[in-house]
Amino acid sequence: MGAMSQPPPLIALCARTLTFSDEGKRDAFTSSQPYSRAVARAGGVPVLVPPIRQLARNALTVLQHFDGVLLPGGGDVDPRRYGQEPDDDTLYGIVPDHDDLDIAVALAAIELDLPMLALCRGMQVLNVALGGTLVQDIGNSDHWMREHSVRLTDGCRIAEAVGTTHLEHCHSVHHQGLGDVADALVPCGWADDGQLEAVELPSATWIVGAQWHPEDTAPHKPQQQALYDELVRRAAARAAGEQLRA
């Protein structure tokens, strides 16, 4: 028999809690479908990691079963996580279990040097986990359900993944942004209005953050799908014991 092919890489995807209001129905763990579909198109296997306290506490052990991480969007991070008092007029969707899991997974991925794509809230979580802060509300709706372009730093990891420094069709759904950028992160992408849209972690092999949702336009925009392709490519290389350049 010939040599067995390498199995597809497993990508950890932080799940969310879905609460049913109808009597008699069970609560569920869930994830928006476009994330998983984009990972699958790239050849990876998305596996949901539910926001359960025991998993958050043991995130380092949990992630040892995976080859890459997708840190997805969602509701707002509790401002107390970055040393601020909440502005209740602008915040939404704060769930302590989500914050616990996402921050723990981000830190564990960094420690294990797993390839990680941190999107929207995920980029904000990455910044908070490393000591940065957020702007609780950017004060306009210019990035809420809008497509725009992003100008990327030449040679940054995202630019190399998508093959351009001027990326079109970036679909944003965020009312917050990064405030103080964590010392460990380097800004590498901006919208035309100056809003910070991308960061990377130079000390890691491949950990990047994008403030937009590439999965939303990825089905018909190959340059957006390319971010997921690169995540899975690097995860597969890591699983095979190969060394890719940063």
What pLDDT, on the 0 to 100 scale, is given for residue 243?
A: 63
Q: Helix, strand, coil proportions of the chain in percent (round to 5)?
A: 30, 25, 45
Q: Which residues of the chain are modeled with pLDDT < 50?
A: 1-3
Query: Over the stretch 31-89, which tens digit does the pLDDT of each residue have?
Result: 999 999 999 999 999 999 999 999 999 999 999 999 999 999 999 999 999 999 998 78
Query: Two tokens at 241?
Result: 């014991």
What the chain holds in terms of domains, given with CATH numbers, is: 10-239 (3.40.50.880)
Asked if residue 36 lies in contact with residue 46, where contact means CB atoms within 8 angstroms, the answer is yes
Told to judge if 197 belongs to the known catalytic residues of this protein, a careful annotator would answer no
Told to judge if 120 belongs to the known catalytic residues of this protein, a careful annotator would answer yes
| Options 174, 175, 200, 215, the catalytic residue | 215
What pLDDT, on the 0 to 100 scale, is given for residue 241?
A: 85
What pTM was computed for the model? Answer: 0.94
| Options 14, 171, 213, 230, the catalytic residue | 213
| Options 120, 156, 170, 188, the catalytic residue | 120
Told to judge if 213 belongs to the known catalytic residues of this protein, a careful annotator would answer yes
What pLDDT, on the 0 to 100 scale, is given for residue 87?
A: 86
